[in-house]
């Protein structure tokens, strides 16, 4: 029986970077990273996997019906696996209509939660969703009903994920009392990569040595990922966005957001921002 670890985050918070890192770390020596085959960390929301587990199309079930069988589908994936099973998620930690948690059952070992300054998330998310303005993204980041693939009017390759607002997303995972969660700040991933990635690797129950972690970090540096995307494209890049690996910087909000936009984000997410060090006690912005 495999043990499931979720790699989870609000979008644009370092999840894909970590997936690329794990792909390098778990890959054979000399194996080239293929951005379009991040197969060691598939998406838990991928319909194809769920269709295989159900024996029929997940699209032939309503969202609510599908969420009722989802925990069993994940458990079945784990039963057929050995060792650690890594799955990427953007959904919030939530329950189905029958009050059964979607992401907590006997096969789940824990979750790595990636968090990033919501001011930078906003800028990056607005580039990712080119159809939205910054103001619309700010509104979505505070919208309890914000979801991905949540339309009932067309079939999408992913199943519905309900993100909710940024703060409630953070809280849903980090304050859940059912599965262990290891929180990683994007800013720390950039500032102290070796220590931060090593702590994540240990949380995932992996025993790789420091030099292997360092090697994987070099193989998936931001410049390298950007170069790979330039050469071979990246299938997870949404249409309308020039590149998925855009800047990856800390503090890019400073040159993009107006003071009014900053104030709205801070007002919506003050408590969570203080808790994770994005806002200090005196109300000053860090990063």
Partner 1 sequence: MLIGWRRFMWRYRAYSLIIESEIELPELSPAESSESVDLTIRIGEVPVVLQDPVAEGARFQAAPGVLLVVVDGVGRFLARDGETIIVDRESGTTDSDIRLFLLGTMLGGVLQQRGILTLHGSVVDSPQGAVAILGHSGAGKSTTAYALHERGFSLVSDDLCAVRLNDAGEPRVFGGYPQFKLWPDSLAAFELGEGDLRRVRPVLEKRAVPCLEEISTGARRLKRVFVLSESNSVESQFREIQGFAKIDRLKEQIYRRQFLMKEAQGKVFETLAALGGEIRMYEVLRPRGDIVLERFVDEIVSRF
The minimum distance between CB 181 and partner 1, in angstroms, equals: 25
Per DSSP, the residues of 34-58 read -TT--TTS-BTTBHHHHHHHHSS-G
Contact status, residue 25 vs residue 213, Cβ threshold 8 Å: yes
Tell whether residue 156 is a contact of partner 1 (CB under 8 A).
Answer: yes
Q: Quick one: which of 43, 61, 5, 9 has its CA closest to 185?
A: 9
Q: Helix, strand, or coil here: 4?
A: strand
Give the residue with the Cβ less far from partner 1, 13 or 58: 58
Q: Report how many residues bind partner 1 under the rule CB under 8 A.
A: 34
- Give the residue, chosen from 1, 31, 48, 271, that forms a contact with partner 1 under the rule CB under 8 A: 48
Q: Which of 29, 30, 37, 56 binds partner 1 (CB under 8 A)?
A: 56
The one among 237, 254, 270, 275 contacting partner 1 by CB under 8 A? 237
| Listed residue (164, 174, 175) closest to 141, CA to CA | 164
Question: HEC states along 221-285?
Answer: CHHHHHHHHHHHCCCCCCCCCCCCCCCCCCCHHHHCCCHHHHHHHHHHHHHHHHHCCCECCCCCE
Q: What is the 8-class DSSP label of residue 115? A: E
Decide: is 130 part of the binding site for partner 1 (CB under 8 A): no
Q: Cα separation of 194 and 237, whole Å?
A: 27
Task: Give the interface segment with partner 1, choosing from 71-79, 196-204, 259-267, 270-278 (CB under 8 A).
Answer: 71-79
Nearest CB to partner 1, comparing residues 237 and 275? 237
Judging by DSSP bridges, how do beta strands 3-9 and 108-115 pair with one another? parallel
Contact flag: residue 225 with partner 1 (CB under 8 A): no
Q: According to the binding rule CB under 8 A, does residue 34 interact with partner 1?
A: no
Q: Contact between 59 and partner 1 (CB under 8 A)? A: yes
Q: Is 202 in the site for partner 1 (CB under 8 A)?
A: no
Q: Judged by CB under 8 A, which of 82, 152, 211, 231 binds partner 1?
A: 152
Q: By CB under 8 A, is residue 157 in contact with partner 1?
A: yes
Shortest spacing between CB 55 and partner 1, in angstroms: 3
Does position 100 interact with partner 1 (CB under 8 A)? The reply is no
Check binding of 235 to partner 1 (CB under 8 A). Answer: yes
C-alpha 191/C-alpha 189 separation (Å) is 6
Please list, in sequence order, all residues whose beta carbon lies within 8 angstroms of the beta carbon of residue 258, skipping any fewer than 6 positions away. Answer: none
Residues 48/54/57/63 CA torsion (nearest 10 deg): -100
Q: How far is the CB of 160 from partner 1 (least distance, A)?
A: 13
51 touches partner 1 (CB under 8 A): yes
**Given 180, 205, 227, 238, the residue binding partner 1 (CB under 8 A):** 238
- Residue 52 binds to partner 1 (criterion: CB under 8 A): yes
| Interface positions with partner 1 (CB under 8 A) | 47-48, 51-62, 65, 68-69, 72-73, 75-76, 152-157, 233-235, 237-240
């Amino acid at each position: 029986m495999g043990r499931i670890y979720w790699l989870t985050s609000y979008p644009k918070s370092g999840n894909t970077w970590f997936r690329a890192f794990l792909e390098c770390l778990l890959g054979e020596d000399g194996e080239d990273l293929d951005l379009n085959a991040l197969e060691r960390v598939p998406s838990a929301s991928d319909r194809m996997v769920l269709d295989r587990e159900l024996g029929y199309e997940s699209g032939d079930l309503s969202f609510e019906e599908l969420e009722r069988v989802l925990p069993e589908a994940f458990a079945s994936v784990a039963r057929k696996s050995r060792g650690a099973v890594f799955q990427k998620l953007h959904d919030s930690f939530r329950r189905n209509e029958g009050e059964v948690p979607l992401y907590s059952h006997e096969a789940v070992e824990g979750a790595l939660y990636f968090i990033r300054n919501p001011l930078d998330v906003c800028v990056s998310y607005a580039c990712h969703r080119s159809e939205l303005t910054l103001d619309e993204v700010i509104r979505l980041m505070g919208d309890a009903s914000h979801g991905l693939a949540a339309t009932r009017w067309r079939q999408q390759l992913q199943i519905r994920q309900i993100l909710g607002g940024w703060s409630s997303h953070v809280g849903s995972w980090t304050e859940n009392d059912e599965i262990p969660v290891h929180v990683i700040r994007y800013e720390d991933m950039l500032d102290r990569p070796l220590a931060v990635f090593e702590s994540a690797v240990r949380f995932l129950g992996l025993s790789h040595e420091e030099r292997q972690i360092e090697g994987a970090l070099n193989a998936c540096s931001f410049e390298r990922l950007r170069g790979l995307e330039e050469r071979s494209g990246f299938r997870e890049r949404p249409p309308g966005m020039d590149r998925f690996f855009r800047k990856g910087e800390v503090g890019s909000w400073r040159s993009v957001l107006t003071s009014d936009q900053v104030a709205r984000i801070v007002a919506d997410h003050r408590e969570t921002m203080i808790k994770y060090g994005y806002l200090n006690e005196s109300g000053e912005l860090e990063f």
